Amino acid sequence: MSTDPPLKELELRNISVRFGGLTALDDVSLRVAPGRIVGIIGPNGAGKTTLFNVICGFVPPTSGSLTLDGQAWRPRPHQLNRLGIARTLQGVGQFGGMTVLENVLVGTRGRRPEQEAMAALARCGVDRYAAAPPGSLPYAIRKRVELARALVAKPQILMLDEPAGGLDSDEIDWLAGLIREAGTTVLLVEHHMDLVMSVCDEILVLDFGKPIALGTPEEISNNSKVTDAYLGAPA
């Protein structure tokens, strides 16, 4: 019998964020059920990363509320790891003065941190780089290290911010498998639409901070508002 804690349910209710006269998010609501993979897509500047920053406590909402497992919640960045929430960044936020292994150890929460860190690196196919400084490695390898650092915490909610950036097609196929097999709730911000459509159970579409669609990949693909705002835009 698994001893892992039950997955968490996250809900955002009517979230708005304003920076002076700029509205970054406008009345966004989203329920993320335990174990689901939910994508958040939209053009550049749509508010996707701002939404992640609200969930992580880096940006307080101007209005609206969040709940975690049905309880009102005011996120604090230093509490995320303890609450079982892990996030990757758009780029690679690794510490240059530390080895790959030491970077991943930052995310550990268990009783055997080095063993767990090495297992996470192996899961991401980069354990042979454990002793290397991250800055010496190719960008795609560093992205895998970032994933390992998030996974080593055994998160109940895994937040991935453009994890496919800089990866080739084979690496994206590998990433899709990792996301499907993560065994946790996943929030995915991503521009690579083949990845989003292949792994997500539900997709929220933002445009200028406002939600314009929420549905299954098939429903989103067939939504004319989404096509006009994003999917049908010139490359």
Segment-wise mean pLDDT, segments of 10 residues, the chain, 235 residues: 68 95 95 95 91 94 94 87 84 74 81 87 94 89 90 91 89 94 93 94 95 95 84 51
Per-residue confidence (pLDDT) for residue 20, from 0 to 100: 86
CATH of domain 1-84+187-235: 3.40.50.300
Per-residue confidence (pLDDT) for residue 234, from 0 to 100: 44
Per-residue confidence (pLDDT) for residue 54, from 0 to 100: 96
The pTM score is 0.88
Per-residue confidence (pLDDT) for residue 109, from 0 to 100: 67
Domain ranges of the chain: 1-84+187-235
Per-residue confidence (pLDDT) for residue 31, from 0 to 100: 94
Rounded CA separation 58/9 (Å):
20
Per-residue confidence (pLDDT) for residue 173, from 0 to 100: 94
- Residues 6 or more apart whose CB falls under 8 angstroms from that of 50 comprise 17, 24, 25, 59, 209
Per-residue confidence (pLDDT) for residue 4, from 0 to 100: 63
Per-residue confidence (pLDDT) for residue 227, from 0 to 100: 83
- Residues 6 or more apart whose CB falls under 8 angstroms from that of 230 comprise 41, 42, 43, 205, 207
Per-residue confidence (pLDDT) for residue 235, from 0 to 100: 40
Per-residue confidence (pLDDT) for residue 192, from 0 to 100: 92
Per-residue confidence (pLDDT) for residue 62, from 0 to 100: 96
Per-residue confidence (pLDDT) for residue 3, from 0 to 100: 52
